[in-house]
Structure 1
Amino acid sequence: MQLQVISFVLIILHCMDSTGCQPHSSSRHPQHKSISGVSSGCQQGGCLTCSDYNGCLSCKPRFFMHLKRIGMKQIGVCMTSCPPGFYGTRSPERNTCTKCRSECDSCFDKNFCTRCRAGFYLHLGKCQENCPDGMVHNDTQRECVLSCPAECELCVNSETCTRCKQGLYQLNGRCHHICPEDYEPNDRLMECTPQVHCQMGEWSEWSSCMRSSKACNRRGQEARTRQILQTPSQFGRPCPLTTEVKDCLVKKKKCSGKKNPAQKERRNRKNRKDKESDEGRRERKRGRERDRGAGERENSENRNKTEHRHRRGHNTETASTEHSLVQ
């Protein structure tokens, strides 16, 4: 209502300086007919009625009337939203822009600031020079923020962090250089996440005993398997082997089918070699026996010759003795 009175006074002052001005025609039809001296572009933009001297006198529906100061003069401007430092109020008669409190840079209404001017800090819609206890001021945002722990970048109170400083991992409102036991670091989320350990299924039954080669022998192997139910995370317990093999004996049965010629030839060569080795051993044994027999015979002959010489020498000595006695 106060703005309407101001606009009306401005119109009267303007008419006093103009010839042929009839303000009663404008006041009689304020929403549909403009006064003399009206701008030819009045219907453009958000103005419903206007003058060259005072600007917009009324606005179209849904537009806000804003009095823009130019020196000592105020010009009416119709806007879709109020400029910074003003908030809009709507009424059936007129939508107007009202200036925020002096400490507010922008506001929602006269009692609720959304941003403070330099030197003031926002807290619960109020701009204050000093922040409450437990809070510190943020010069960039011009707000009072919580006094977070040293390792926190953002927090909800002095004990609960919502974002940690660079290089730290968050867990339950705390920041950690190294994640606790059973947790591992997640570099994408910068959080400590629970470790996921490997989980294995049950072993299957042992398979039947299978020969380890095509040879007709009783040595073989049997195996059993199990599945991975849960793949581990990066630092979780790894999975063990999924297959286990052990030796076994194949049930005795007659080999069937043709033998491999190459295998048969190898076996024959081995048999011949073994036979030749046996014959060689027997021949060497016989040679040793012959050598031993020849040696024994030679020794026997030498012993006989020695005994013969001894006997002949003895007989000669006896005969000489007897001859001496006779003389």
Structure 2
Amino acid sequence: MQLQLISFVLIILHCMEYTGCQQHSSSRHRQHKQISGVSSGCQQGGCLTCSDYNGCLSCKPRFFMHLERIGMKQIGVCMTSCPPGFYGTRSPDRNTCTKCRPECDSCFNKNFCTRCRAGYYLHLGKCQESCPEGLVRSDTQRECVPKCPAECDTCVNSETCTRCRAGLYQLMGRCHHVCPEDYEPNDKLMECTPQVHCEVGEWSEWSPCSRSGRTCGFKRGQETRTRQVLQYPSPFGKPCPEISEIKECLVKRRRCPGKYSKNNEEEREKKSFNSRKRERDRERERERERDPGERDDSENRNKTEHRHRRGQDRHPVSPDQGLAQ
């Protein structure tokens, strides 16, 4: 009976030892799995080896290892470039992301900042709370910038303005109350812009001589020529010259065909009638201006000639009678 009890105790102890060995073996297997990088997360991103708990343990070539904090825990992440506030360092063994100095918002390396945190101002790669002499702080750029001239609102240096004060016009880094020659103010952009002058093309050929839209039935008419505007001027540019010209012309009078021939004939007849009427009026005027005696003698001569013509008309002389006489 005692022998059976001892045998039963030995069996239980053996089983407990075997179970402990199995648990230890399983724990070692899980640890080996984390280190060797068999996790399915290694199949994505730039991870070369990883674990389910710690993320990436190593990265593929050209990737940077970056530790992201999640609460109290840090997870390895492989990135092509480091995030803001970190700079990348390369080595034969591994590439890592290193945090910039506390006053830097972004940096090129540990000694050269590219942007500063609020309250610091960048100057020659350093972030500092005050600027050197001759420079002033720019809260928008977080940099030490040159003190601008009085007419500048913002500037690159003491000679180059990027924006002028109200009422001034910018031109090539300077501010002007009045724009220089060949420039004009642009109130919308507050800049001096180049003036644009009018440009015209060549004159056309002279048109045929015409009058009232006709090219016949007259002696004096007009010829015209034109040219086109190639470039219209700006508000202060040189205005355009004349783009059309007219000159008098003479042509040999000729009848117009069709409907104009009758009108021309009537016009000529009217002119002839008026000319004859004017001539008769002038003759009467001259008669009135003569002396009474001359006017009577003229009237007597006219009457005698008139009677003589009437007598000849009544008694014509035959050729034989004329010879007998």
Which residue does the alignment assign to 1:43? 42
Is 1:75 paired with 2:74? yes
- Aligned-partner residue type, residue 247 of structure 1: E
Partners in 2 of 1:101 and 1:208 — Cα distance?
83
Instruction: Return the TM-score normalized by structure 1.
Output: 0.59
Mapping of residues 20-35 of structure 1, within 5 Å = 20=25, 34-35=34-35
Which residue does the alignment assign to 1:182? 182
SS of the residue aligned with 2:248? Answer: strand
SS of the residue aligned with 2:122? Answer: strand
Question: How far did 1:110 drift?
Answer: 0.4
- Aligned-partner residue type, residue 63 of structure 1: F
Task: String of CA shifts for 1:9-62, please: whole Å, max 9, x gaps.
Answer: xxxxxxxxx945659x96xxxxxx6449x8844424444444455444333333
Which residue does the alignment assign to 2:136? 136
Which residue does the alignment assign to 1:115? 115
Mean Cα deviation higher: 166-175 or 269-278: 269-278
Partners in 2 of 1:201 and 1:169 — Cα distance?
34
Task: Report if the CA contact (8 A) 1:220-1:248 is conserved.
Answer: yes
Partners in 2 of 1:243 and 1:67 — Cα distance?
80
Task: String of CA shifts for 1:49-100, please: whole Å, max 9, x gaps.
Answer: 44455444333333333334456x5524123033332222121111222121
- Aligned-partner residue type, residue 95 of structure 2: N
Question: How far did 1:179 drift?
Answer: 2.1
Is 1:260 paired with 2:261? yes
Partners in 2 of 1:225 and 1:52 — Cα distance?
87
Given the superposition, is the C-alpha separation of residues 261 and 141 from structure 1 closer, same or farther in structure 2, using an over 3 Å criterion?
A: same
- Aligned-partner residue type, residue 184 of structure 2: E
Unmatched segments (≥5 aa) in structure 1: 1-17, 27-32, 291-327
SS of the residue aligned with 2:127? Answer: strand
Task: Report if the CA contact (8 A) 1:196-1:233 is conserved.
Answer: yes
Partners in 2 of 1:74 and 1:269 — Cα distance?
120
Question: How far did 1:111 drift?
Answer: 1.0
Given the superposition, is the C-alpha separation of residues 92 and 231 from structure 1 closer, same or farther in structure 2, using an over 3 Å criterion?
A: same
Task: String of CA shifts for 1:94-130, please: whole Å, max 9, x gaps.
Answer: 1222121121122121011122122111222211101
SS of the residue aligned with 1:264? Answer: helix
Mapping of residues 218-237 of structure 1, within 5 Å = 219-221=220-222, 232-237=233-238
Question: How far did 1:238 drift?
Answer: 1.6
Count of aligned pairs between the two proteins: 258
- Aligned-partner residue type, residue 83 of structure 1: P
Mean Cα deviation higher: 108-117 or 207-216: 207-216
Unmatched segments (≥5 aa) in structure 2: 1-22, 293-325
After superposition, the CA RMSD in angstroms is 4.5
Instruction: Return the TM-score normalized by structure 2.
Output: 0.59
Which residue does the alignment assign to 1:245? 246
Given the superposition, is the C-alpha separation of residues 58 and 271 from structure 1 closer, same or farther in structure 2, using an over 3 Å criterion?
A: closer
Given the superposition, is the C-alpha separation of residues 269 and 257 from structure 1 closer, same or farther in structure 2, using an over 3 Å criterion?
A: closer
Mapping of residues 166-315 of structure 1, within 5 Å = 168-186=168-186, 191-198=191-198, 210=209, 212=211, 214-215=216-217, 217=219, 219-221=220-222, 232-247=233-248, 249-250=250-251, 260-269=261-270, 272=273, 278=280, 282=284
- Aligned-partner residue type, residue 238 of structure 2: R
Partners in 2 of 1:248 and 1:256 — Cα distance?
18
Partners in 2 of 1:202 and 1:64 — Cα distance?
69
Which residue does the alignment assign to 2:101? 101
Task: Report if the CA contact (8 A) 2:88-2:97 is conserved.
Answer: yes
Given the superposition, is the C-alpha separation of residues 275 and 144 from structure 1 closer, same or farther in structure 2, using an over 3 Å criterion?
A: same
Given the superposition, is the C-alpha separation of residues 265 and 124 from structure 1 closer, same or farther in structure 2, using an over 3 Å criterion?
A: same
